[in-house]
Structure 1
């Protein structure tokens, strides 16, 4: 089950060019396209005539045209026309609330009347010239909550990412976790350690020495329903760590938008926003390449983990202290799901 009354990243604006885009989100097949006045739109990816995917069609005069028999669908889900046919009695498709902001196309799979821009996460870095962002997209065959577990417990870096961001000191620095409403925060600080290869590259990119001891931090923020943003960085040791002056550190936000597809797959929009050398395109490309390699290492682990879980449904997984961030995030999801289901039942009773 998925939280439907929430905003999810569906795609990037550049994904909606001349052709429609079909994508399954929270178990619903949706077609995204640019409609009238070049505005992003989304409707159920199902032609009411013979069930063909509308995403295999094309766009004409701001409407979606089915590529099977030419049925024309408006962005409100109503059939506009069909060659040689009267369409007044044709059933409507579900249409979806859409927003284009922060460099992403967002979709609200639930009730349109509840969708407001105020419900979007606030991404200050996305609207500031002092920050630069680079990222990508992976399709991963595992439940989205396994990815949240992964991102809220970075202990795995020592082992999965040993050649890039992992180091033994991560195991020795125990994390702390706290819950603030629908938000979970797990943080870990390491003092006077050697910077791992990825962070040595970042230090050089900001014209800082990379062979000196550093203080390192990881602060993971879970935002319901499935966003994780991680404050990360290193500073030359002895200068205040997380609070060091900008000329003594490199810091960034690892941006993770996790959009459920099915119970065993999700769309993973990953990236890094940084506030040093924001105009350095070469550095952005180097960081993006490094991140892509790192997240590719997670991909194989997560997909095989999911398969193991499916093959062993009777096995109960252990919950240790290091899992607190993921455990608390799952509790938030369960609470919001229960609340949404209760509200839906009450609404159905009132309509009966």
Structure 2
């Protein structure tokens, strides 16, 4: 059974990674080479020459075309061969696959499935990454695990109490009630922790930005967008100042600090993935030091997750066929998995798209 759908936009690189050189990357078990044309637009081609299958990434750029490093065949950005050595004519079948590719929200996105379905409007919403009023930065992590394990991790933040106890985790995260909702494409987990003492990370942020020390109201609003993007609205505000709001009325977060943890996880293979993340904030916008410290601090936190996820994958490999048991805290991850499975089923058999995908109920 497939582990990921192909008809989706997947992050292939940060925009700053891609320039006037050849960047090879494996996306959904497909080897692809990326580069920019001279006008800056991205290109994505199958990373295998039509002639003898040498990876095109071992060649070089000449203008907007790729020259194979073995026998010098030349391919344009549409994948068509435009020159063959020692002959005037070009075999009309000489081409490599060109993938739909675009740049948005500081990422380069590629569509590895049916190109006719590659609607730019379906790019996941990560607008905080390049919107006025927000600033931040992030990194790419290569993780040796099934990409769905990363999604499981992000959809259930009770693990912060135990994995990240020295930074963002405390007992309140594990014990606070939450609400899980879902639709055809999204699943959301909302958790509020009111009148608590903030963990070290958030205590430092609100003290620096607002000069406040004391009890806070803390929130985590996790939103999954199928098949592999998770945004987490996080922050703390002075306790009792109305950050939560009420039914249908947004809260007042002006006496707090607000961030968005932006995550999009791209399958590399069935057991490895590219994990792109960023932390965007709406406070201390012009303090580059804060941006740097936050990026490195979050990177340290995510390295703790990386160790757990890779150990989990090794354990899964040691227990083939094992079925996970689910607790109430797994509600968000269960719905995310169900939405992924529906996408996979739809590609395998369009008639299966509307059928319910069985999952083990919560314990």
Same fold (TM over 0.5): yes
| DSSP-derived class of the 1:203 partner | helix
Aligned pair partner of 1:311 in 309, 318, 321: 318
Match of 2:304, SS state, is helix
- How many angstroms apart in 2 are the aligned matches of 1:99 and 1:247? 36
Q: Distance in 2 between matches of 1:13 and 1:297?
A: 26
Q: Which residue of 1 aligns with 2:264?
A: 257
Farther-moved stretch of structure 1 (242-251 vs 44-53)? 242-251
Once superposed, which parts of structure 1, at least 4 consecutive aligned residues long, lie more than 3 Å away?
241-247
* 3-state DSSP of counterpart to 1:219: strand
Shift of 1:5: 1.1
> Does the residue aligned with 1:292 lie in a helix, a strand or coil?
helix
Q: Is the 8 A contact 1:45 1:53 kept in 2?
A: yes
The unaligned stretches of length 5 or more in structure 1 are 346-352
SS of aligned partner of 2:285: coil
**CA distance, structure 2, for counterparts of residue 57 and residue 242 of structure 1:** 55
* Aligned counterpart, 2:30: 28
**Residue by residue, what CA displacement relative to the aligned partner does 1:269-326 show, whole Å, maximum 9, x if unpaired?**
0111111122221111111111000000000110010010011114322111111111
| Structure 1 position 59, deviation (Å) | 0.9
Match of 1:326 among 309, 325, 333: 333
Which stretches in structure 2 are left out of the alignment for 5+ residues?
Answer: 246-250, 353-363
CA distance in 1, matches of 2:208, 2:49: 51
What is the alpha-carbon distance in structure 2 between the residues aligned to residue 82 and residue 169 of structure 1?
Answer: 66
Q: Identify the range of structure 1 (336-345 vs 14-23) with the bigger mean alpha-carbon deviation.
A: 336-345
1:237 is matched with which residue? 239
Q: In 2, are the aligned partners of 1:208 and 1:248 still within 8 Å (CA)?
A: no
CA RMSD of aligned residues (A): 1.7
2:158 to 144, 155, 160: 155
Equivalent residue of 1:199, what SS? helix
1:342 and 1:208 mapped to 2: Cα distance? 57
Alignment partner, residue 145 of structure 1: 148
Q: Counterparts of 2:254 and 2:243 in 1: how far apart (Å)?
A: 12
Superposition pairs of residues 52-67 of structure 1, within 5 angstroms: 52-67=54-69
C-alpha contact 1:41 1:75 (8 A) present in aligned 2: yes
1:221 corresponds to: 223
Of stretches 140-149 and 32-41 in structure 1, the one that deviates more from structure 2 is: 32-41
Q: Deviations over 1:15-51 (max 9, x none)?
A: 1223110001111111001135332000101111211
- TM superposition score normalised by structure 2: 0.91
**Contact between 2:45 and 2:98, CA under 8 Å: does it hold in 1?**
yes
Q: What is the aligned partner in structure 2 of residue 78 from structure 1?
A: 80
Shift of 1:219: 0.8
Name the SS for the 1:308 alignment partner. Answer: helix
**Count of paired positions:** 344
Equivalent residues in 2 for 1:172-211, closer than 5 Å: 172-209=175-212, 211=213
Change (3 A) 1:104 1:161: same
Rounded Cα–Cα distance in structure 2 between residues aligned with 1:32 and 1:104: 13
Separation (CA, whole Å) in 2 of partners of 1:93 and 1:76: 8
Q: Hey, what's the Cα distance between the residues in 2 that align with 1:36 and 1:247?
A: 44
Q: What displacement does 1:342 show?
A: 2.0
Rounded Cα–Cα distance in structure 1 between residues aligned with 2:323 and 2:105: 40
Pick the structure with more helix per residue. Answer: 1
| Distance in 1 of aligned mates of 2:144 and 2:48 | 24
Note the alpha carbon deviations across 1:32-85, whole angstroms, 9 max, x for none. Answer: 011353320001011112111111211101001112222211111111113214
Aligned counterparts of 1:58 and 1:13: Cα–Cα separation in 2: 20
Cα distance in 1 for residues equivalent to 2:139 and 2:171: 28
* 1:122–1:316 CA distance, 2 compared to 1 (3 A): closer
